[in-house]
């Protein structure tokens, strides 16, 4: 039968609370920036793990290395050296030349020669550093500035000092000035020869589109970023690989003509299909180097990338997107990330709820986190930056919260079972109770149940008179010996010892697990009668021993009734008992004490009509009559079970 909605909510309340609560907490941590560094680390690891792309032959670097500086014996080089270098490169007919070296002041000798080269090379782009309000600016070469052949080489560093973003346009803080970046300017020169010009993207007029490539503007909360500086027109850098990925020749190789004649031209030898040539510093001693996502592999000295390589990557990224359709990094919206975190919070909660074994719970959590990592990495390979740290943390936290909650609940429930039943159920019943605890226990109590059970009451005949013959200590020893023997018989027949009341015992058959069939209910009635008979036999054995010890022998009375009872925990926080209440309890008690003149030998057993109906034909029974029991309005048919001790000491009917 389907559970009502209210019961479903109550049963799984920890799930409904944990999933949104943990997800909300992780989202708050994400928004506060607490997870930004961890997500950057994951991003960097994914960058290093993904397959590196093929070398882009459309971009070549002329690098100033340590050997060049030693041979020329100075840096910065004089203008004559630069003029000669540029003329050598021009002879190779590249499509665009990028001078990623500051040249704001003359360095004699040779300044006039360099100025002439600047004036006669329309595809040469120089650099300037614009920076921000707190950064030092570096002016561009004046002649190139006049000819509008300059670009910005500013970079945007993250809080950990790494370079993950590139500038397409530098913009002044007040938004009044704007300047293309060196990488973009060189790429546009290259693409213009292909007939590709910039235009607003059809999907968003604020985005730049070049050919097949659309370049979404970086937002302050993209990926793992939180309130990042999004000044200018930024994009996420999609590096082709680690440092050294682009074909690089040294300055001296160019000056000394140690290059193939067509190195800087297209393989077809057509000038308008030439390459982009970037001139820059690669010597580490000049410190024009940056930490990138590829800088995390080395523990001792992380590898850094030369600034000219960064510009080469940016230019290549733009060209590849425009011509080849190579995707840049794509990110989810904040709402999509929140749903993603909520989903994994649900996965962790479900794991903690369904997998109760700590070992399997840990294994399931590890597998889930691994699956999350592999899935997000697979998406990363296809240029989707999907958060991995927040959902992983949501999964782990929710799994831990639910596991701790379940452990606490089970400890509380186990204590409840032990407090309520103690030693008064068999291990089999105790195991059954524990297995079905979700149905039986609620808030540290056994839930109230209405079920059909058989109640058995016992009492010692003339106990008060007998008790006067003992001193207090001996009386308690004697009485406990009797209770121990009777309890053992009760437990043997699968009943619960409900309570001891002086010399009386109340036992209930058919609780706390409700019987679902009439056959089971009849079996409880049979067990109760058989239990009473075996209690009689146990009493006979006790009497024999007591007689030898000089103690008085006793007789007992038993009342048994079958019917509807209500069971559950009764009491307060300091003391709580499991008990059964109802008319059948009252009838069993009244049968035990009914008409004490009716003899029954060592043990008189009276049963109600309901019990008789269930055991009829299985025991010799005689009708006592229809009587009015105290506390009942309707008369009750009473029956007596006939039995006698066997030679083996066990009762027989």
- Which pLDDT score is estimated for 426? 58
Q: Which helix (H) or strand (E) holds 402?
A: helix 389-421
User: Which of the two residues, 431 and 298, has the higher pLDDT score?
Assistant: 431
Is the pLDDT at 317 greater than 70? The verdict is yes
- Reported as a pLDDT band with limits 50, 70 and 90, residue 592 is very high
Is the pLDDT at 202 greater than 60? The verdict is yes
d(CA 213, CA 317): 9
Give percent of the chain above pLDDT 90.
65
Are 539 and 603 in contact by the 8 Å Cβ rule? The answer is yes
- Reported as a pLDDT band with limits 50, 70 and 90, residue 354 is confident
- Which pLDDT score is estimated for 652? 47
For residue range 262-287, list pLDDT tens digits in order: 676 665 554 335 899 999 999 999 99
- Which pLDDT score is estimated for 172? 87
For residue range 626-652, list pLDDT tens digits in order: 998 888 888 999 999 997 655 444 444
- Two tokens, residue 411: 């400890």
- Which pLDDT score is estimated for 260? 73
- Which pLDDT score is estimated for 467? 86
Across 8-22, 248-262, 629-643, least confident range: 8-22
- Which pLDDT score is estimated for 651? 47
Compute how many other C-beta atoms are within 10 angstroms of the C-beta atom of residue 567.
Answer: 25
Are 143 and 273 in contact by the 8 Å Cβ rule? The answer is no
Compute how many other C-beta atoms are within 10 angstroms of the C-beta atom of residue 427.
Answer: 8
d(CA 365, CA 348): 7
Compute how many other C-beta atoms are within 10 angstroms of the C-beta atom of residue 585.
Answer: 21
Report the pLDDT averaged over residues 311-329. 95
- Which pLDDT score is estimated for 610? 95
Bridge partners, 166 (sequence order): 235
- Which pLDDT score is estimated for 269? 52
Compute how many other C-beta atoms are within 10 angstroms of the C-beta atom of residue 91.
Answer: 13
Mean per-residue pLDDT of the chain: 87
CATH architecture assigned to 422-652: 2-Layer Sandwich (3.30)
- Which pLDDT score is estimated for 437? 65
Bridge partners, 385 (sequence order): 331
Is the pLDDT at 70 greater than 50? The verdict is yes
- Reported as a pLDDT band with limits 50, 70 and 90, residue 409 is confident
- Which pLDDT score is estimated for 432? 64
Annotate 502-544 with DSSP letters as a single string.
Answer: TTEEEEEES-SSPP-SHHHHHHHHHHHHHHHHHHHHHHHHHHH
- Which pLDDT score is estimated for 272? 39
d(CA 240, CA 509): 77
- Reported as a pLDDT band with limits 50, 70 and 90, residue 153 is very high
d(CA 421, CA 508): 12
- Which pLDDT score is estimated for 648? 41
For residue range 130-147, list pLDDT tens digits in order: 876 556 889 999 999 999
d(CA 595, CA 80): 131
Is the pLDDT at 461 greater than 60? The verdict is yes
- Which pLDDT score is estimated for 555? 94
- Which pLDDT score is estimated for 542? 95
Domain spans, the chain: 5-32+332-413, 36-331, 422-652
- Which pLDDT score is estimated for 282? 95
- Which pLDDT score is estimated for 239? 95
Q: Which helix (H) or strand (E) holds 290?
A: strand 289-290
Give percent of the chain above pLDDT 70.
87
Is the pLDDT at 573 greater than 90? The verdict is no
Are 466 and 554 in contact by the 8 Å Cβ rule? The answer is yes
> Tokens 């008085």, residue?
552
Are 560 and 588 in contact by the 8 Å Cβ rule? The answer is yes
Is the pLDDT at 154 greater than 90? The verdict is yes
């Amino acid at each position: 039968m389907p559970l009502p909605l209210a019961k479903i909510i109550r049963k799984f309340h920890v799930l409904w609370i944990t999933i949104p609560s943990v997800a909300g907490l992780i989202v708050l941590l994400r928004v506060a920036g607490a997870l930004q560094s961890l997500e950057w680390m994951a991003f960097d690891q994914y960058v290093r793990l993904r397959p590196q792309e093929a070398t882009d032959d459309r971009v070549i670097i002329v690098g100033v290395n340590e050997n060049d500086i030693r041979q020329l014996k100075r840096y910065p080089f004089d203008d004559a050296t630069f003029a000669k270098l540029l003329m050598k490169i021009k002879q190779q007919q590249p499509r665009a030349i990028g001078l990623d070296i500051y040249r704001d002041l003359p360095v004699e000798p040779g300044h006039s020669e360099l100025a002439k080269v600047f004036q006669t090379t329309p595809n040469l782009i120089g650099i300037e550093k614009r920076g921000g309000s707190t950064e030092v600016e570096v002016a561009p070469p004046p002649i190139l500035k006049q000819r509008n052949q300059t670009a910005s080489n500013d970079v945007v560093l993250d809080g950990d000092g790494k370079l993950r973003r590139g500038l397409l346009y530098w913009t002044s803080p007040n938004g009044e000035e704007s300047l293309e970046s060196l990488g973009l300017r060189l790429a546009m020169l290259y693409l213009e020869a292909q007939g590709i010009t910039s235009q607003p993207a059809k999907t968003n007029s604020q985005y730049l589109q070049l050919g097949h490539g659309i370049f979404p503007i970086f937002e302050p909360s993209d990926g793992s970023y939180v309130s990042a500086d999004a000044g200018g027109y930024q994009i996420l850098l999609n590096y082709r690989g680690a440092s050294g990925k682009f074909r690089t020749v040294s300055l001296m190789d160019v000056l000394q003509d140690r290059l193939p004649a067509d190195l800087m031209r297209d393989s077809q030898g057509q000038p308008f299909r030439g390459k982009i040539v970037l001139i820059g510093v690669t010597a580490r001693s000049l410190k024009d180097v940056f930490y990138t996502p590829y800088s995390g592999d080395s523990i001792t000295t992380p590898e850094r990338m030369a600034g000219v390589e960064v510009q080469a990557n940016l230019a290549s990224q733009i060209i590849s997107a425009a011509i080849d359709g190579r995707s840049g990094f794509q990110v989810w919206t904040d709402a999509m990330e929140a749903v993603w975190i909520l989903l994994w919070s649900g996965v962790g909660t479900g794991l903690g709820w369904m997998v109760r074994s700590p070992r399997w719970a840990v294994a399931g959590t590890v597998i889930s986190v691994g699956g999350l990592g592999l899935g997000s990495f697979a998406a990363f390979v296809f240029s989707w930056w999907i958060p991995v740290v927040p959902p992983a943390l949501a999964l782990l936290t929710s799994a831990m919260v639910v596991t701790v909650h379940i452990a606490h609940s089970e400890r509380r429930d186990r204590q409840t079972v032990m407090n309520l039943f103690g030693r008064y159920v068999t291990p089999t019943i105790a195991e059954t109770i524990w297995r079905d605890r979700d149905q039986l226990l609620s808030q540290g109590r056994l839930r109230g149940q209405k079920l059909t059970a058989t109640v058995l009451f016992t009492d010692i005949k003339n106990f008060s008179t007998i008790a006067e013959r003992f001193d207090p200590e001996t009386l308690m020893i004697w009485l406990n010996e009797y209770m121990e023997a009777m309890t053992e018989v009760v437990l043997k027949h699968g009943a619960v010892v409900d309570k001891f009341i002086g010399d009386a015992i109340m036992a209930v058959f058919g609780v706390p697990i409700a019987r679902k069939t009439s056959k089971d209910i009849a079996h409880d009635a049979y067990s109760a009668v058989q239990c009473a008979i075996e209690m009689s036999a146990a009493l006979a054995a006790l009497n024999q021993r007591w007689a030898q010890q000089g103690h008085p022998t006793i007789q007992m009375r038993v009342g048994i009734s079958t019917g509807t009872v209500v069971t559950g925990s009764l009491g307060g926080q300091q003391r709580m008992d499991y008990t059964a209440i109802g008319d059948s309890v009252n009838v069993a008690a009244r049968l035990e004490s009914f008409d004490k003149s009716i003899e029954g030998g060592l043990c008189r057993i009276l049963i109600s009509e309901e019990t008789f109906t269930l055991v009829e034909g299985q025991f010799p029974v005689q009708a006592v009559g229809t009587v009015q029991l105290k506390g009942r309005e309707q008369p009750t048919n009473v029956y007596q079970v006939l039995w006698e001790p066997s030679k083996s000491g066990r009762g027989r009917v």
